[in-house]
Amino acid sequence: MRIKWFSLVRITGLILVLLYHFFQGLFPGGFIGVDIFFAFSGFLITSLLIDEFARSSAIDLLGFFKRRFYRIVPPLVFMILLIMPFTLLVRKDFVAGIGSQIAASLGFVTNFFEIMSGGNYESQFIPHLFIHSWSLALEVHFYLFWGLGVWFLAKKSQSISQLRGFIFLLSTGLFLASFLAMFLGAFFTKNFTSIYFASWTHIFPFFAGAALATVSGVASVGVNFKKMEEAWTIKKAWLRLALSFSLLVVLSFLLKFDQIWTYLFGFLLATVLALEMILATRILHDKTPNRQEPAWLGFVADTSYGVYLFHWPFYIIFSQLMNNLLAVILTTILSFGLAALSYYVLEPSLAGRRPQLTFLKLDATQISRPIFYSLLPLTLLTLLIMATAPKIGAFEESLMVNGLNQAKNKLDLTRSQIDQAQATEYNVTAGVSLIGDSVALRASQWLETTIPGIQLDAVVSRNLASGLEVYQTAISNKILLQDVVLALGANTVDNYEEALNQLIDQLPKGHRLILVTPYDGRVASDENSSLAKTRQYEQELAKKYDYVYLADWYQVAQDNPDIWQGTDQVHFGSESNSIAQGGQLYAQTIKEALDQASQGPVKP
């Protein structure tokens, strides 16, 4: 039984995810589209299991798993095989460790793979092509657990109403346990990615949908739903549907991945609004018996899973080869075309049904065989790419080498400080200390050449908060040199004003402070972004304190677009020339600020 207007729920989730991935700066909270999918999946799967019990007083567990397999696995394999030839168009960094990514995707453990490998959903240097399959991992975990759970409850149930009651109690309890794990975990983590990816903290939308299914359902509905349906008018249903959709869009503008409020309330609110959409569309199905759902809605909904699978790796690849708008257009066209091929031809053929492009009213039997024949060379090519792919990319390798060189130089400089300290009137050793993030680490070679003797301490993913801790430790150990460069803005924090104020307040007497302004090309044009506000506040501090200076990397980065071609828009350079150019510009920007500072006062 197909419910009219359910397509609107699926399409809402898809639109938000696409907007988030394509235009993250404008829609920083679009990742909640995945939670809409989760809530809908929990609702639909539970409803179908209840319907099956209502028909036959039993649940065919093997049949359930078989249906899930045919719906999930073939499109995933199809996507991986078709994507791999396109990786030949981009540099080797994008297939570094690709075998592990593919194994994690096909094993439905991508979420755990990303947690263990230290992956970050938003800010990886070289984005994993199959990182988006983390949501499939959660889906499969839910299907395995919930299929067994409902099957067991069905064995113990004497009636459909009793089964509904059992499912409602279990799903509500699991919903509360999972949400509480996310809620409490948000207070005790510095890396929200682990909470976002983990099955036990992010599975609650499924159980929220399952609880709703005991009331609403698809073919078999509860008594309370019938009463609710009588009370709702068509106008009320459409209004509540529109309001829920509108609020979800608003959340996509307001929520941010690295804000604690997203995990305390954002995902919960998105889940509740998704349930409201599901309920409204279910009522509209019964209230509009003579109205047909537009065919295009059905097409987009049918292909939404395939589009989700294809869009991310295509976008990552194409965005390296062309501007963002062209990458979005090409990604969208190919994703819908290949998703349609998968849904209307590949999947029914594997399941023993006649493939048919229903929206075009074409019998697709004749094209299914060539598609299957093409999978063999694609498989061989995929295996070849996996076998020849580097274990780590050149970018990560350069960061590792720079980190090792930095550690050695830091040790030598510290020893030199102890042996040859020349104190100023404040008993401060002349020289430059830099505390930085991965951008500074990428430029370490040029920093050491341009600023001889620089004491460099830069690591990946350091932000203002963690940088403050390093800064405080250096102060307590009395190892800061006279000029202190803080290059931490690329990973800014919500309380940037407080963090920057602490950095200035705790600066010891006799030192100067040089702040390197942050740059992220994805949000550079957004004056309301936290990164832009961080830069603005740093400019204000440089005017307020005569011992605080500015190295305006933001402006230099804007003035040199060539160094950002084919990058993540945070870490300059995609090949040797642009890397060298970016490193020299970064080092020279800081050197000029240091030259200016050398003519000015220190903190009195």
In DSSP notation, 394-427 reads HHHHHHHHHHHHHHHHHHHHHHHHHHH--B-TTS
The mean pLDDT value for 132-151 works out to: 96
Dump pLDDT digits (tens) for 518-539: 888 877 777 777 788 888 999 9
Q: Which long-range contacts (CB under 8 A, 24 or more apart) does 118-121 make?
A: 119/193, 120/191, 120/193, 120/461, 121/31, 121/193, 121/196, 121/197, 121/257
E-strand stretches of 145-253: none
* Shared domain check, 407 and 379: no
**Residue 42 shares a structural domain with residue 109:** yes
The average pLDDT across 300-315 equals 95
Is there a single domain that holds both residue 232 and residue 96? yes
Same domain, 359 and 417: no
288 or 364: which carries more pLDDT confidence? 288
Among the residue ranges 143-152, 312-321, 414-423, the one predicted with the least confidence is: 414-423
Q: Which residue, of 365, 388, 411, is where some domain finishes?
A: 388
165-220, pLDDT tens digit by residue? Answer: 999 999 999 999 999 999 999 998 877 889 999 999 999 999 999 999 999 888 88
Mean pLDDT of the chain: 87
Q: Is residue 413 part of a domain?
A: yes
Give the integer Cα–Cα distance in Å for 377 and 424. 71
Q: For residue 429, give the DSSP letter.
A: B
With a cut of 90, say whether residue 402 has pLDDT above it.
no
The pLDDT value recorded for residue 567 is 78
Same domain, 383 and 401: no
- Same-domain check for residues 584 and 555: yes
What CATH number corresponds to the domain at position 400?
A: 3.40.50.1110
Q: Which residues lie below 8 Å from residue 402, measured CB to CB, with a gap of 6+?
A: 441, 442, 444, 445
Domain that holds residue 452: 394-598
User: What total of structural domains would you count in the chain?
Assistant: 2
Asked whether residue 371 is assigned to any structural domain, the reply reads yes
Amino acid at 600: G
Note the pLDDT of residue 26: 87
Model pTM?
0.80
- In tens, the pLDDT along 476-503 reads 888 888 999 998 866 667 788 888 899 9
pLDDT tens per residue across span 25-56: 889 899 999 999 999 999 999 999 999 999 99
| Structural domain includes residue 604 | no
Task: State mean pLDDT over 262-280.
Answer: 97
Q: Among 363, 388, 413, which residue terminates a domain?
A: 388
21-to-29, 193, 205, 560, 591 alpha-carbon distances in Å = 10, 16, 21, 25, 36
pLDDT of 421 higher than 50? no
Could you tell me the two tokens for 279? 């309920």
459 pLDDT band, cuts 50/70/90, is confident
